[in-house]
Amino acid sequence: MAKPLTAKGIDALKPGASRQEIPDGSMPGLYLIVQASGVKSWAVRYRFKGKPKKHTLGTYPAIKLADARTLAAQVLTTVAEGRDPSEEKKQTKREAAEAVKDDVASAVTSFLNRYAEQHQRKASLKETKRYLENEAATAWKGRSIKSITKRDVIDLLDAAVDRGATVTANRLLAAVRRFFNWCAERGIVDASPVAGIKAPTAEKSRDRILSDKELGLVWKGAESIDWPFGPFIHLLILTGQRRDEIAGMRWSEIDMANATWTIPGDRTKNGKAHVVPLSPEAISLIEALPRMKDGEGDSAFVFSTTGKTAISGFSKAKAAVDKAITKLLKGDDEEDANEPPTIPNWRLHDLRRTMASGMARLGVPVHVVEKLLNHTSGTFSGIVGVYQRHDFGNEKREAAEAWGKHVAQLITGAGSETSQ
């Protein structure tokens, strides 16, 4: 029969070449485990439904001898009551793990991996991640997804509004709403706490359209600023495509022989490849552009200052255009920091709207304008977009060429005005 263990005897035990299990004669089923490394721990051996089981208690001396005997007695009592302490311990661990996965940050990660990355284009995914990870998950760090209430969502939006980020608050609401709807669909939450919450601020859709005179001045002003932003703005005017699409233009996307630029689906707003016909004016502009180097050869980007990445810093470029226009009209080199812009309240994105309006004045049908600008709303929304597969290639080219000629005429006019 095994002898009762003593604290002094346990401390004196030396590890052997292999693992040892030493029974405690005072408590049946309790064993001191001595590893070859010298680590000592406690375990209880028992039988449950005829099968041998082992339940680990913890290490020695963190759990002293007397405490180990008390815990062993509790384990054996549980077995006598018809429950398996080893399985109950595993269940407790599983529940703890599930509780961790139930926090907001984990739910956000799951949403991004399982939904957003599959259904959103890169630009939208980047924004969604920023709103959910930097805003929502940060504000609700460590909290269960099920504990988030409508009040929590409103407080999150109010915080954005209070710091002056009114548009961000609206975008944040859209991202959080989509996230919680997904959680509700999957049973992660019983109902979305975002239901019934309205956008915190009203957004007014811009309708700024530059006049022909203003557009000509923007062109002349862009001529006066440094590469690559001058030609970049010129191409914005000539093609009407989105700022980031032109900024990210690759040489491989341009077919000079057929005068087309094909924007791949992963860089368009609607996720579909878009063929842009290039007017003779656009082709001449592109042919004159320098080819940057990226350290290993020619850069993949048409517009780049490093050769390795696409351009950025658009607000500075726009400000430089405004200063150049002021100088052109004043005919001097004086700069007044307090003087308002010569062309008031305009943005780079207004050039796209200006092209659409200008082509309409030239007699281009609205459905051709939408195809050229790669719009999926308006004329081609709903069921029409499903069944209308004609790409209007010839019509788009005629429209692009008509617009190119119109811009060329404006440039001549702007030149004569600034020289007066």
pLDDT single digits (tens) 202-229: 766 678 999 999 999 999 999 999 899 9
Find, among 75, 16, 7, 66, the residue nearest to 45 by Cα: 75
Backbone φ and ψ for 56, nearest 5 degrees, come out as: -80, 135
Find, among 154, 229, 166, the residue nearest to 198 by Cα: 154
Residue range 318-327, pLDDT digits in tens: 999 999 998 8
Q: Where are the alpha helices (DSSP H) in 249-365?
A: 280-287, 314-330, 350-361
- What is the model's pLDDT at position 165? 83
**What domains appear along the chain, each with residue ranges and CATH number?**
7-96 (3.30.160.390), 104-185 (1.10.150), 212-419 (1.10.443.10)
Low-confidence ranges of the chain (pLDDT < 50): 100, 337, 378-389, 415-420
Structure tokens belonging to residue 14: 């030396």
Find, among 362, 411, 394, 402, the residue nearest to 280 by Cα: 402
pTM of the shown model: 0.57
Residue range 271-320, pLDDT digits in tens: 789 999 999 999 999 999 999 998 888 999 999 999 999 999 898 999 99
- What is the model's pLDDT at position 74? 94
- What is the model's pLDDT at position 377? 54
- What is the model's pLDDT at position 96? 56
Beta 254-255 vs 260-263: how paired, if at all? Answer: antiparallel
Rounded CA separation 257/246 (Å): 20
Residue 295, Ramachandran bin (φ over 0: left; ψ between -120 and 50: alpha; else beta): left
Burial 21-57 (b: 16+ CB within 10 A, else e): ebbbeebebbbbbbeeeeebbbbbbbebeeeebebeb
For residue 368, give Cα distances in angstroms to 19, 242, 400, 417.
81, 17, 10, 32
Rounded CA separation 281/279 (Å): 5
- Are 5 and 24 contacting, i.e. CB atoms less than 8 angstroms apart? yes
- What is the model's pLDDT at position 73? 95
- What is the model's pLDDT at position 226? 82
- Are 19 and 35 contacting, i.e. CB atoms less than 8 angstroms apart? yes
Backbone φ and ψ for 16, nearest 5 degrees, come out as: -100, -170
Find, among 295, 324, 317, the residue nearest to 308 by Cα: 295
Which run of H or E residues covers position 254? strand 254-255
